[in-house]
Structure 1
Amino acid sequence: MQNHDHYLLLTPGPLTTTASVRESMLKDWCTWDDDYKSLVQSIRSDLLSLAGVSEEDYTSVLMQGSGTFSVESVISTAVPDDGKLCVLVNGAYGKRIAEIAERLKLNVRTIEYGETERPDLEKVENALEQDEAITHVAVVHCETTTGLLNPIHDIADIVKRYNKTFIVDAMSSFGGIQMSITGMDADYVISSANKCIQGVPGFGFVIAKRQAIQQCEGQARSLSLDLFDQWQTMEGQEGKWRYTSPTHTVRAFKQALEELKLEGGILARQNRYEQNQRTLVDGMRALGFTPLLPDEWQSPIITPFYYPEHEAFQFERFYEELKSRGFVIYPGKVTDLKTFRIGNIGDIHPSDIEALLEATRESLYWLEPVTK
């Protein structure tokens, strides 16, 4: 059995990055320097281009920390004291948004579904019709608990018909799945450096409608996560962050954005992720594994599989066997079902998935029946 110093991360982020992205971090940067601030401004502009929105209508803000920090910055800043947030929940990350709101002592209502269920749009419509206090609606696009892709455009149609502020957690989908931010008339779209754009961890970002963020002055419940103040500083001081920024991560992100362009943009990347996912599911089925979700609900981001029906199966041993062969997968996150997850994003290609399938077959040697 071969030991690997380097392995492929088959997770929803952090994920496997290119050597060129990692190498871009070998230079140190000064946060006050004009060259660095110019780099930040170019990233902010690149994000708007990638989102397909105009600088006249939308802006972008970078925020230190993991993606959850950016989610909390939006919830903390965008919802006023007299507002009410409605959160659609069908997984751990929808629950996290609701928990953030509760910790901030906001007025919050949840519409909850099973973790393997898509949102019932009628429930959304009824909630907005009956509860006029709701001012903001938040939903996770790709719920990485299960890999389920929520119908955000259909949800947006309802939210905007009732003239509510729409917040989209696109953490695991922006840059890797096509979406129309203008078509949804989304007010806030949130993602992270270390997801589909294939950068490294260290900051998240928010694409915000200018009209929405301009109304948020003084509303934040946190100093460091004040999205309005962060935006004002970046706008007024040409790319400056209020507090120390993750300079190496920012440089890596710029390189990752350039590599996304070279690949052919979001559609080309989505096609690669989808090919990875089809190869994975077909191969795992051939090995006797069953996917958690119906194919038509499954995103190309991450795929959960049920444990095999073998009483001797232990995920921890399976994980270590795969890791020793150069692959790291993810444990399951569904509350009541025994599953594990395999991601398809990052610098991962169909040939890598084929190698993973062979490693999976090899890693199950200890489950084969003993012949006498």
Structure 2
Amino acid sequence: MLLPLSVPPLMLTTGPVPVYPEVLKALGAPVLYDYHPTFQEFYAAVVEKLRLAFRTDIAPVIMQGEAILGIEAGAAALIAKDDVVLNLVSGVYGKGFEGWAARYGKEVIELAVPFDEVIDPQAVRDAFRQRPDISVVSLCHHDTPSGTLNPLYEIGAIAAEHGAYLIVDAVSSFGGMDAHPQSAHADIFITSPSKCLGSTPGLSLISVSKRGWEKIERNSDAPRGSFLSLAAWKDASIPGRTFPVTPSIAEIYALDAALDRYAKEGPENVWARHAETAAIARKRLLELGIALWPKREVWCAPTATAFRLPDGFTDVELRDRLLNEYGILLSLGRGDTSGKVLRIAHMGASAQPDFARTTIEALSSILSQSID
């Protein structure tokens, strides 16, 4: 097969990420008819593996589209027209959720911080004190354009104390750290297989709590008979049930392989590998005199490192030199971080300590050449 572009030898982008070899092999399996009993049993087994990975008591759902589908579907299903939504904004994706919250709810209250900071749980408590009618809280756990990590468990506990429903965008955090829906009191928790699980894009992996399903059932405005219908997938993993749409068969094969790999390596070992890789990247960047984008290192995520541009370089120039001279592809910033940062991903197969070392050595060489 002739690819339209050459594949970078070292692709450290924030998604999609390089997939594991097991995933590539699974993609080559024969595509079965989705109502073949063998596939239906296989699909049910994959959903069970995902449930175990999520560490939840309730079967999750798999929607057939990239994770933005899951995020929008979650908002449409859970947020009713009488809901007051507290949208927590510490980055581009947190801000982006505002549109969906406003579309489906009665009112959106924004709690925002500069995009190089994270949400303070005390500020969430204060918001509830000022507005006890808040009924839904929305949080982007790891906002990749900023490389920052919000305190998921602390915020989840506060939302639970006040009886509010919690929607979590865990697209680029789940699988790379301890981030689980039930422990976080998340009522809707969305992630992607194409980040820390090291699989392909094209699916939304969603955990819904028991009370989350109950609220969706009560919400007369929740999509039904629609591609956005989360409820339509609730029992789709029960063999013999009708799929709302034809599943992406090959993507399910890939997810199965990724979940098997995650379980075999051991979640805690996977998280440690991500954390070690990020720590090496941060340490060596600082040694070069390159500043991290987050104001405090403790706010940095273990799944992506965003760093400020060295003097004398534009983001595109530095990205292109890394790619053309060293075969390393990084991500540019997005939205408010565009033109201000480059981002090194540490997700799935790219979360390797040697990759971090190689990247910083290449940066060091480029900086040395600029001085000469």
Query: What is the TM-score normalised by the length of structure 1?
Result: 0.89
- The offset of 1:359, in angstroms, is 2.7
Identity of aligned residues (%): 23
- The offset of 1:213, in angstroms, is 1.0
- The offset of 1:81, in angstroms, is 2.3
Distance 1:14 1:181 in 2: 23
Distance 1:326 1:19, change over 3 A: farther
Per-residue CA shift, 1:265-310, capped at 9, x if unaligned?
2x11111011111221222233332212222111111111111122
Q: How does 1:91-106 map to 2 (within 5 A)?
A: 91-104=91-104, 106=106
User: Partner of 1:335 in structure 2?
Assistant: 336
Conserved 8 A contact 2:81-2:105: no
Is 1:108 matched up with 2:80? no
Is 1:163 matched up with 2:163? yes
Conserved 8 A contact 2:64-2:202: yes
Q: How does 1:303-314 map to 2 (within 5 A)?
A: 303-310=305-312, 313-314=313-314
User: Partner of 1:352 in structure 2?
Assistant: 355
Per-residue CA shift, 1:91-121, capped at 9, x if unaligned?
1111111122234465322211111222133
Distance 1:226 1:283, change over 3 A: same
Secondary structure of the 1:69 match is helix
Q: How does 1:77-88 map to 2 (within 5 A)?
A: 77-88=77-88
User: Partner of 1:137 in structure 2?
Assistant: 137
Per-residue CA shift, 1:174-209, capped at 9, x if unaligned?
111113533332212110111111110001111111
User: Partner of 1:210 in structure 2?
Assistant: 210
Distance 1:100 1:227 in 2: 15
Q: State the one-letter code of the partner of 1:328.
A: L
Conserved 8 A contact 2:41-2:239: no
- The offset of 1:236, in angstroms, is 7.3
Moved more, 36-45 or 65-74: 36-45
Conserved 8 A contact 2:319-2:329: yes
- The offset of 1:368, in angstroms, is 2.8
Number of matched pairs: 360
Conserved 8 A contact 2:80-2:104: no
Q: State the one-letter code of the partner of 2:266.
A: G
Secondary structure of the 2:206 match is strand
Distance 1:34 1:118 in 2: 47
1:231 pairs with 203, 213, 234, which one?
234
Q: How does 1:146-225 map to 2 (within 5 A)?
A: 146-217=146-217, 218-221=220-223, 223-225=226-228
Conserved 8 A contact 1:197-1:257: yes
Q: What are structure 1's unaligned runs of at least 5 residues? A: none
Distance 1:196 1:304, change over 3 A: same
Once superposed, what is the RMSD of the aligned Cα atoms? 2.2
Secondary structure of the 2:349 match is coil
- The offset of 1:334, in angstroms, is 6.2
Conserved 8 A contact 1:63-1:205: yes
Conserved 8 A contact 2:117-2:299: no
Q: State the one-letter code of the partner of 1:295.
A: E
Distance 1:193 1:368, change over 3 A: same
Distance 2:282 2:121 in 1: 29
Q: State the one-letter code of the partner of 1:32.
A: Y
Distance 2:37 2:208 in 1: 25
Distance 1:314 1:141 in 2: 28
Secondary structure of the 2:25 match is helix
- The offset of 1:65, in angstroms, is 1.4
Distance 1:6 1:22 in 2: 17
User: Partner of 1:270 in structure 2?
Assistant: 271
Secondary structure of the 2:221 match is coil
User: Partner of 2:33 in structure 1?
Assistant: 30
Q: What are structure 2's unaligned runs of at least 5 residues? A: none
Secondary structure of the 1:292 match is coil
Query: What is the TM-score normalised by the length of structure 2?
Result: 0.89
Secondary structure of the 2:198 match is coil
Distance 2:209 2:240 in 1: 20
User: Partner of 2:20 in structure 1?
Assistant: 18
